[in-house]
Amino acid sequence: MNNNIASLDPYQFMAVIGKTVIHPGGKKSTDELFSFLEDLKFKNVLDIGCGVGTTALRLASQFGCNVTGIDIVQSMIDKALSNRSSTSLNGNVRFEKAI
């Protein structure tokens, strides 16, 4: 855990305290978006601003696609990789730090 909590931006702080969906509209908006995707067939998805990887992991799990998640914050990528390690999606989901 980050010992200097005051230096974290709001998204990093929320990730540190365990929030997994941190975006406008929250899980409800993600659920609505996924309902529009149900009939689409896609193989590869780029998740820009992936945060802790929740949406990327859900996309790969629900739709069987490959997902690359990128974020500019290394601690988010580290948490996303940790989240991925508790799934069977290692071959389907990559996380990389954007530059």
Give 2-5's long-range contacts (Cβ < 8 A, gap of 24+): 2/75
Average pLDDT over residues 55-80: 94
> How much is the pLDDT for 8?
77
Pairwise CA distance, residues 12 & 79, whole Å: 10
The answer to whether residues 49 and 71 touch, using CB atoms and an 8 Å cutoff, is yes
Averaged over 40-47, what is the pLDDT? 90
pTM higher than 0.85 for the full model? no
In 3D space, the residue among 33, 68, 24, 28 whose CA is nearest the CA of residue 48 turns out to be 68
Return d(Cα 33, Cα 59) in angstroms, integer.
11
**Tokens read off for 51:** 């945060």
What pLDDT sits at residue 4?
A: 76
pLDDT band at 50 (very low <50, low <70, confident <90, very high): very high
CATH of the domain at 83: 3.40.50.150
Q: So what's the pLDDT on residue 33?
A: 81
Domain that holds residue 68: 5-97
Counted domains in the chain = 1
